[in-house]
Amino acid sequence: MALGIHKPGQGYWVRTLTAVFAGVLVFSAAAYGWQQAELIPIPVRDYAVDLGAVRGEVAAGDVLELVGPDAEGRQAVLGEATVAAVNHLGDGSGRLTLADPRTTAELEGEAIDLAASVRLPGQGAEPAFRASITNVLKTPAVPLVYVQAGVASVIILIGAALIYWFVYVNRRASEFLINTDGEMRKVNWSTYREIRGSTIVVIVAAFLIAAILFVIDLAFKTFFTWIDVLQA
């Protein structure tokens, strides 16, 4: 028995077409899974933070305070984050990579107003570094396309295994498909000439019936108009 196939070589066309149709459904499910994988929460590796109104200097390894409005609307320290890299800093603007932000604010997307600024605490009253956050981009631990490809691949692999088991391995399903193929071979398929003749007969009959009904309808309309039941 080749690769566990039940009665290999029998019911070829019915088995093959069944597998093809089921494969289309599996690929449709994989496409849907690819789309829905966008909703899977992916852990964030770090945040790329665009800054404005930059004052002072900061270096990789520094710990910044995240400052923003608290629950009562007052400016407060919401948490802190470590500077992983300084991508650009100067001309009153810059970009930092922040790793492991420890804050109650959502440091991503549209919620950047919750962490409106960052600062490096100084020895005096004024912080040694201060800047306002203008934009935040999160870097996922795993690229989204990898997650989507993984979900789609799992669906395809599981679907392929189920199709193979149902069409070629499962005894009852295979017997059904083989018997179906045998019955299909017994069907007396109409020839092109027969199909063409039948089609012409149906079309001509449809037009004749329509003409007869039109004449009958016209006769009734004329009769009822003549006896003053209908007003033309």
pLDDT digits (tens, 9 = 90+) for 109-122: 444 444 457 777 76
- Based on the structure, what is the number of domains in the chain? 3
Task: Supply the CATH number for residue 107's domain.
Answer: 2.40.30
For residues 139 and 203, what is the distance between their CA atoms, to the nearest angstrom? 66
Residues 87 and 161 in one domain: no
Q: What is the DSSP letter of 165?
A: I
The pLDDT value given to residue 122: 62
Residues 58 and 132 in one domain: yes
Task: Give the helix ranges, DSSP H, for 58-170.
Answer: 144-164
Inter-residue contact 167 to 22 (CB < 8 Å): yes
The pLDDT value given to residue 110: 43
The pLDDT value given to residue 225: 84
Inter-residue contact 42 to 144 (CB < 8 Å): yes
> What are the pLDDT digits (tens) for 156-190?
999 999 999 999 999 999 999 999 988 888 888 88
Residues 163 and 125 in one domain: no
Which residue do the tokens 């019955």 mark? 183
Q: How far is CA 121 from the centre of its chain?
A: 45
Provide block-wise average pLDDT over 10 residues at a time, the chain (232 residues).
76 93 97 94 85 85 81 77 85 85 59 57 69 84 93 97 94 92 85 91 96 94 81 62
Q: Which two tokens stand for residue 178?
A: 């083989």
Domain that holds residue 161: 2-37+145-184
